[in-house]
């Protein structure tokens, strides 16, 4: 099997599986809220896990909330902030190339009377900073929401420039960042990043599905999305899962080891595929300076889904549009918003890598693409 669909999800590593298995021991399976010694043991371990995770992210333990996924993190951050800070302004800034986890929150806010301004995205996948500056200067902007690495193209946000712009033009505007596809691929130091709130997902970094993280900088107040027993400082009620939290911490710790070497290896694979595919009947849709972990390619003569299933015959797995919207058979809105013509976007396939992919797999991928063209293209 060649698994090139790592932006959709990744497989848990041996280390993650082992830690999860150890954590399921009776001694650690108490409720962290219980007063007896099993509860205390679970609570102590959970506290350590929060501290470890915070350190790996360059944050303080008081700034970390474990959630069920990045979608929950986005909902808590965006809706929770706007609900709590009604006097901060009525406008939210974003783009139309965000993940649905953000876009649907923005649609919800619009339905509830907030004004959402969508900054146009240029052909390199980056928001038009002149329009952003003008929008910030117009005032009333409570929140801006952007994605650090786009999940469909790998386009990288000019986050430092955006931060400088915000600090100069509208310092009170809170900056929410979706860093789901950046985590484990580029070193993350949240205090240096300068964002105010940030989302992460465990299953994109070889952790388990069912766990995400929300970073909320100390001093930023949000309303919780989930009410109940007041766990996690009242920010996310519900009995904490030590197994899930530890799976996240372990995956992040593992991803942080050799992160630069992994980046170089994936860059080499990406560069090879870009060259080989461009020499065939394929058009590279990811920007030149995209993160190498994502490569969006349009195959001439093959609709996205047809190519996906042709590759599947060879046990090669890729995506059409992002996994959560791919069942709706739509052409990628991210590509269309970035100015890719409909006909080209309709043939787009997303190939996405992890540090565990190899050059040999990339060579095999090219061999199979050649065979697919030989076998199927002429008869079409
Ligand atoms: N944001 C981005 C950029 C993503 O790629 C994804 C998942 O595809 C999400 C948010 C949502 O993550 P989760 O599956 O953890 O809800």
- pTM of the full predicted structure? 0.96
Query: What is the reported pLDDT for 34?
Result: 97
- pLDDT tens across 24-68, in order? 999 999 999 999 999 999 999 999 999 999 999 999 999 999 999
Res 380 pLDDT > 50: no
d(CA 233, CA 301) in angstroms, rounded, equals 55
- pLDDT tens across 254-289, in order? 999 999 999 999 999 999 999 999 999 899 999 999
Res 326 pLDDT > 90: no
| Mean of all residue pLDDT scores within the chain | 96
Query: What is the reported pLDDT for 321?
Result: 73
- Given 20, 141, 145, 324, the catalytic residue: 324
Query: Does 310 participate in catalysis according to the annotation?
Result: no
Q: Is the CB of 212 under 6 A from ligand 1?
A: yes
Question: Going from the N-terminus, what domains does the chain have, and what CATH number goes with each?
Answer: 2-9+258-376 (3.90.1150.10), 14-256 (3.40.640.10)
Query: What is the reported pLDDT for 330?
Result: 77
Nearest CA to ligand 1 atom 8: 8
Res 304 pLDDT > 70: yes
Candidate from 66, 77, 151, 153 with most ligand 1 atoms within 8 A of CB, to mutate: 151
What are the structure tokens assigned to 289, written together?
């300076």
Residues with Cβ within 8 Å of 214's Cβ and at least 6 positions away in sequence, in order, are: 64, 65, 67, 72, 73, 76, 77, 197, 198, 199, 200, 236
Res 225 pLDDT > 80: yes
pLDDT band for position 328 (50/70/90)? Answer: low
Candidate from 9, 10, 67, 70 with most ligand 1 atoms within 8 A of CB, to mutate: 70
b/e sequence 274-312, b meaning 16+ C-beta within 10 Å: bebbeeeebebbbbeebbbbbbbbbbeebbbebbbebbe
pLDDT band for position 378 (50/70/90)? Answer: low
Which strands form 348-352's sheet, in the order they lie side by side?
A: 282-284, 294-299, 348-352
Res 23 pLDDT > 80: yes
Distance of CA 71 from the midpoint of ligand 1 (Å): 6
- pLDDT tens across 83-122, in order? 999 999 999 999 999 999 999 999 999 999 999 999 999 9
The shares of helix, strand and coil residues in the chain, as percent rounded to the nearest 5, are: 45, 15, 40
| Between 322 and 226, residue with greater pLDDT | 226
Section 324-330 average pLDDT: 60
H-run or E-run covering 159: helix 159-169
User: Closest Cα to residue 353, out of 5, 1, 2?
Assistant: 5
Report the DSSP beta bridge partners of residue 265: none
- pLDDT tens across 149-204, in order? 999 999 999 999 999 999 999 999 999 999 999 999 999 999 999 999 999 999 99
């Amino acid at each position: 099997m060649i698994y090139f669909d790592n932006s959709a999800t990744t497989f848990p590593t041996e280390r993650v599986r082992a830690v999860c298995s150890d954590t399921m021991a009776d001694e650690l399976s108490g409720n962290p809220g219980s007063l007896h010694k099993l509860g205390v043991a679970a609570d102590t371990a959970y506290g350590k896990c929060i501290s470890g995770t915070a350190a790996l992210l360059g944050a303080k333990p008081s700034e970390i909330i474990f959630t069920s996924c990045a979608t929950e993190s986005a909902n808590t951050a965006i809706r929770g902030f706007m609900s709590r800070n009604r006097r901060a302004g009525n406008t939210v800034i974003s783009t139309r190339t965000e993940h649905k986890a953000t876009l649907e929150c923005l649609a919800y806010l619009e339905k509830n009377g907030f004004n959402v301004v969508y900054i146009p995205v240029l052909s390199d996948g980056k928001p038009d900073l002149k329009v952003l500056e003008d929008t910030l200067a117009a005032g009333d902007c409570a929140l801006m929401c952007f994605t650090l690495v786009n999940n469909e193209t790998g386009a990288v946000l000019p986050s430092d420039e955006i931060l400088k712009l915000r600090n100069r033009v509208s310092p009170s505007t809170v900056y929410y960042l979706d860093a789901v596809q950046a985590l484990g691929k580029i070193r993350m130091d949240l205090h240096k990043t300068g964002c105010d709130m940030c989302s992460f997902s465990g299953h994109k970094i070889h952790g388990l599905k069912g766990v995400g993280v929300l970073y909320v900088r100390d001093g930023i107040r949000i309303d919780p999305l989930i009410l109940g027993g007041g766990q996690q400082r009242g920010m996310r009620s519900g009995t904490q899962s030590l197994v899930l939290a530890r799976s996240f911490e372990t995956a992040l710790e593992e991803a942080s080891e050799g992160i630069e070497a992994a980046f170089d290896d994936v860059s080499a694979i990406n560069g090879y595929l870009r060259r080989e595919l461009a020499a065939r009947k394929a058009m590279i849709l990811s920007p030149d300076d995209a993160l190498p972990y994502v490569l969006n390619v349009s195959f001439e003569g093959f609709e996205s889904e047809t190519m996906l299933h042709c590759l599947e015959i060879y046990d090669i797995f890729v995506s059409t549009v992002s996994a959560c919207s791919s069942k709706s058979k739509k052409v990628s809105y991210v590509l269309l918003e970035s100015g890719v013509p409909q006909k080209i976007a309709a043939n787009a396939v997303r190939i996405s890598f992890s540090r565990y992919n190899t050059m040999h797999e990339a060579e095999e991928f090219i061999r199979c693409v050649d065979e697919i063209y030989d076998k199927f293209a002429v008869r079409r």
